[in-house]
Amino acid sequence: MNRSVKDYVRSIHDFPHEGIIFRDVTTLFADARGFRMAVDQILHAYAGMRIDKVVGLEARGFILGGAVAHQLSTGFVPIRKKGKLPGTVISEAYTLEYGEAIMEIHDDALRPGEKVLIVDDLLATGGTAAASIKLCRRLGAEVLGCAFVIDLPDLGGRAVLEGMGMPVHALCAFEGD
């Protein structure tokens, strides 16, 4: 049987709150074949493009982004939640369902003109990815696209990113739930 990336994702009902279905990629990462499939499919989408750095979003984007950067033989840059990076950072606030959060990147992590790919596990409302695009652009980098394992299209994140002129690539989608 040929499995897809989606087949490796575990769905956990009522987590972290009742009525939510949490899409767990740790089961994908734990399976050598599934993890390789996900990395290869992301790489395939950007074949032939010059990518200077892969930017991974906290926290599961570090796992996937690190593997993609390794395969591309390029550097990896983390974008983290406020207060997690040492040194001088720039920050970008974004809205959550209830309140606001802040993402940060080292102020010397990217150079003007570098071509970067943003990688994360899941695209929901697009807030984290949009803040990350803004951070990369503020440092003068050219964001080539955003790659995700999972898109939750009902939450509208793809439209937010595409509205910023950003190409979006997702390996699978979970609609309607």
Number of other residues whose CB lies within 10 A of the CB of residue 140: 11
Q: 137 catalytic, yes or no?
A: no
Select which of 60, 80, 92, 104 is catalytic: 60
The candidate with the shortest Cα–Cα distance to 134, out of 114, 161, 152, is: 161
Rounded to whole angstroms, the Cα distance separating 29 from 27 reads 5
> What is d(CA 166, CA 82) in angstroms, rounded to the nearest whole number?
24
Q: Could you tell me what percentage of the chain is helix, strand and coil, using 3-state DSSP and rounding each to the nearest 5?
A: 35, 35, 35
What's the one-letter identity of residue 98?
Y
Instruction: State the catalytic residue, choosing from 18, 97, 100, 175.
Output: 97
**What is the dihedral sign for C-alpha 122, 123, 128, 129?**
positive
> Is 60 a catalytic site residue?
yes
Active site residues: 60, 97
